[in-house]
Amino acid sequence: MKPDDGNPATLEARLSVKPRALFLLCIVLTCLLYRPALADYPIEVIELQARPLEEILPVIRPFAGPDGTVTGMGNSLVVKAAPARLREIRQLLAELDRPPHRLLITVGNQGDKAARSSGYSARADIRVGDAQVGINSPGYPVDETRARLDLHDRNIQDRRNSSYRVQALEGQPAYIRSGMRMPLHETQVYYNNGIPYVRDATQWHDVSSGFYVVPRLNGDAVTLEILQHDDRAGRGQGVIRTQSAATVVRGRLGEWVELGGIDTSSQQRQGGLGQSQTARDSSTRQIQVRVECIDCQ
C-alpha cells in the first residue's frame, strides 16, 4: 500500500505545530541563548493569574540566584533555577500574583482656632475751677467732673473639620479634589505714547482641597505616598489661605495615622495712660489618614 506522501492534507498535518508547543520551544531556545553556562536545572513555565508580567518580573528575578534565570514571555514567567529557589519563587508568587485589593482611604483635617482679648480703657473729664483736664476724652466742655471705665474680656473659639474619601486599588495612584474657582480682580496701569491707561482684569484661581495617594499593602501594614492640600478663601478680598503636606507614612489598616500638623500662636499687648489691652491668638491644624481594606478576608 502506497504512503500518502503526496496528499496535501497529510503534508499540512505534518508541518503544523501546536501554538503551545511552539511557545515552549521558543522558551527553551531563549533560555539556552540567554545563559548557556547555567546549571542544568529544569525549565519551569509559570503562568501569571492576576498581575502583569512587567510588574512581577523585576521582583522575582533576584530570587533565582546567581546560577538561575527568570525571563518572561507573554503573560508567563520562565524560570530556570535550583529546586529550593523555585519553591521560594512559587511561595512569593502566591502572595504577589493576586488581584489588587480595593482600599478606602480617608484624609481628615481638623483645625482649632482660639482668640482671646482682655483689657480696660478709662475716660475722664476733670473740672478744676475754670479749667478742664481730659484723659482719653475728646475734650468737649463739661459742667462737672465725669469718668467712665470700660472693661472687656472676649474669648472666641472656632473649629473646622473636614474629611475626604476615595477608593483606590492597591499599588495604583488615586486623586480626589473638590473646590471652586474664585475671581481675583487686578488693576493694571500701562502707558501708550506717554498717556496712562488703566485696565481692569479678572483672573480665576482654583481654590480646592484634596489629596493624591499611592497605597501599598504588606499584610495588615500599609505604606502611603501622599500629597495633601487644603486651600480656602480668606477673610479679605482676593486672599487665599493654603496648606499642604507631602510625605510617606506607614500604619495599620483601620488605624488613623497622623501626617503632620501646624501650630501657630501670637500675643500682642498695648498700654498707655488709662488703658491696657492684651490679645492672644492660636491655631492648630492636624492632618490624619486612615486606610480600610474593602475586600480583605
Q: What is the pLDDT of residues 70-100, one digit of tens each?
A: 999 888 999 999 999 999 999 989 888 888 8
* Same domain, yes or no: 84 and 162: no
- pLDDT of 98: 84
- Domain holding 31: CATH number? 3.30.1370.120
Last residue of one domain, picked from the residues 80, 96, 112: 96
- Assigned C-alpha cell, 112: 482649632
Q: pLDDT class for 37, splitting at 50, 70, 90?
A: very low
Q: Does residue 241 share a domain with residue 221?
A: yes
Note every long-range contact of 266-275, with CB atoms under 8 Å and residues 24 or more positions apart, other chains counting: 270/119, 273/135, 273/136, 274/121, 274/122, 274/123, 274/124, 274/135, 274/136, 275/119, 275/120, 275/121, 275/122, 275/136
The predicted structure's pLDDT at residue 104: 92
> Is residue 28 very low, low, confident or very high in pLDDT (cuts 50, 70, 90)?
low
Alpha carbon of residue 184 to chain centroid: 27
Q: Are residues 231 and 284 in the same domain?
A: yes
Question: Is the predicted pLDDT of residue 63 greater than 80, yes or no?
Answer: yes
Residue whose cell numbers read 477673610:
235
Handedness of CA 85, 91, 94, 96 (dihedral sign): negative
Question: Is residue 115 domain-shared with residue 27, that is, in the same domain?
Answer: no
Cα gap 204→238, rounded to integer Å: 10
Does some domain include residue 131?
A: no
Q: Are residues 169 and 263 in the same domain?
A: yes
User: Both 112 and 90 in a single domain?
Assistant: no
Instruction: Work out the average pLDDT over 107-111.
Output: 78
More confident residue, 50 or 233: 50
Q: What domain range is 72 assigned to?
A: 8-96
Q: Domain for residue 140, yes or no? A: no
Q: What is the pLDDT of residue 88?
A: 92
pTM of the model: 0.54
The number of distinct structural domains making up the chain is: 2
CA angle 153, 157, 162 (to 5 degrees): 170
Contact criterion met (CB below 8 Å) for 201 and 185? yes
Looking at the domain assignment, is residue 136 inside a domain?
no
Shared-domain flag, residues 54 and 109: no
pLDDT at position 175 over 90: no
pLDDT at residue 10 above 70? Answer: no
Confidence of residue 12 (pLDDT cuts 50, 70, 90): very low
Looking at the fold, whether 161 and 272 belong to one and the same domain comes out as yes
Helix (H) or strand (E) run with residue 20 in it: helix 19-34
Pick 165 or 283 by higher pLDDT.
Answer: 165
